Amino acid sequence: MTDHFHVIIAGGKTGGHLFPGIAVAQALQRRHPGVRIRFVGTSALFETTTLNAYGFDHTPIFSRPLKGRSLFQKLKGLAAILVSLVQSLWIIRRFKPDFVLGVGGYASFAVVLAAWILRIPTAIQEQNAFPGMTNRMLARFSSVIFTAFEDTRGFDQNPKTRVTGNPVREQGPIVQTRASWISDIDSKDFVLLVTGGSQGAASINRAVMDMAPRMAGIKNFFMICQTGKGHEAEVLEKLQSAGIRARVQDFFSDLPSLLAQADLVLCRAGAGTLSELAVKGVPAILIPYPYAADDHQTHNARSMADHGAAIVMADRELSSDTLYQAVMDLKSDPNRLNRMANAMAQLAKPDAADQIAAHILQNKGVSPRVSD
């Protein structure tokens, strides 16, 4: 194989799309050190700073969601697609990729479509149990559909589908600072990790703050909270005033190392987070984001709960009372927590990124055909 093997990974904006792409990129680098990788996505600050931290080249394109009810919104969406398609064709002509992988998010649509037009091999990776609209549209233009769940709706009977699980990235690039505070966690501590995803979650933050006074006085208890930007000071103040030992930040770049410390996780049901939970075998209380596209987080959460790996609580049911009850029920029942942890570990597919990377490297020169 030539050392000049080029791959474009298209999509991103949120961690749910971006981190699986990073995981595949890392697997490609392990398998073929000469590979050149370029991410093409949005200009969102989270996306650009994360890719810079991991050392990957990144080109943003003009893109916007494809959904819209009014005629004006639909016309704007169509115009955005045309602009991003022209940009994508130009990027592909310059970078000359041997393969294009779409990881979801509306920015991936034009890039994968442009690659198909230019007869460059393509694939898409769907993280959720209910596929997003972009990937549903791109499925017919892709030679392979990589899915995380065996029962991914609409893709489970497609002959192009390969169930790999969700790619999980290696350790984050900024991990040297964690030791200074993780050493504060005692081996006897019950550690609750709270995260609303890469952008935080206001309802989860509120419930945690309201629950804090009820947790006062509980021995051997430690909380790790990812709050999202601008909320860390308020959450920390509430926890400290209740005497709860805690580490609170707007964002942690090294989620895998935090999961290694956690006994229980309270989180949204984004596919990337769930995959990392499975790899580490950590049970969870899942609060699906109620406004996720096509309610895909509820589908994800139910899939985990059906396997006994998590319990699901609707966002509208989240309160200090319901959260306190759920946490204390699990904390006081180590056997149940153990069963959930084992069930979660059974769902892990740690080689997902390597499977996808192997396909990309083995299929150079294969031109996909559009399918009905």
Predicted local confidence at residue 175, as pLDDT: 47
Predicted local confidence at residue 368, as pLDDT: 43
Name the CATH topology of 179-346: Rossmann fold (3.40.50)
Q: Are 310 and 301 in contact (CB under 8 A)?
A: yes
Nearest to 15 by CA among 167, 234, 191: 167
Nearest to 166 by CA among 305, 351, 367: 351
- Give φ, ψ of 317 to 5 degrees: -95, -5
The class of domain 6-168+350-362 in CATH terms is alpha beta
Delimiting residues of CATH 3.40.50.2000 domain(s) in the chain:
6-168+350-362, 179-346
Residue 308 assigned to a binding site = no
Residue 169 assigned to a binding site = yes
Residue 16 assigned to a binding site = yes
Find how far residue 60's CA is from the centre of its chain. Answer: 19
Residue 198 assigned to a binding site = yes
pTM for the whole structure:
0.81
Spell out, as residue ranges, where the chain has pLDDT lower than 50.
1, 174-179, 365-372
For residue 280 the two structure tokens come to 């580490």
Residue 14 assigned to a binding site = yes
Predicted local confidence at residue 174, as pLDDT: 47
Residue 105 assigned to a binding site = no
For residue 4 the two structure tokens come to 């000049």
Nearest to 12 by CA among 26, 49, 1: 49
Query: Which residues on adjacent β-strands are paired with residue 122?
Result: 100
Residue 15 assigned to a binding site = yes
3-state secondary structure of 324: helix
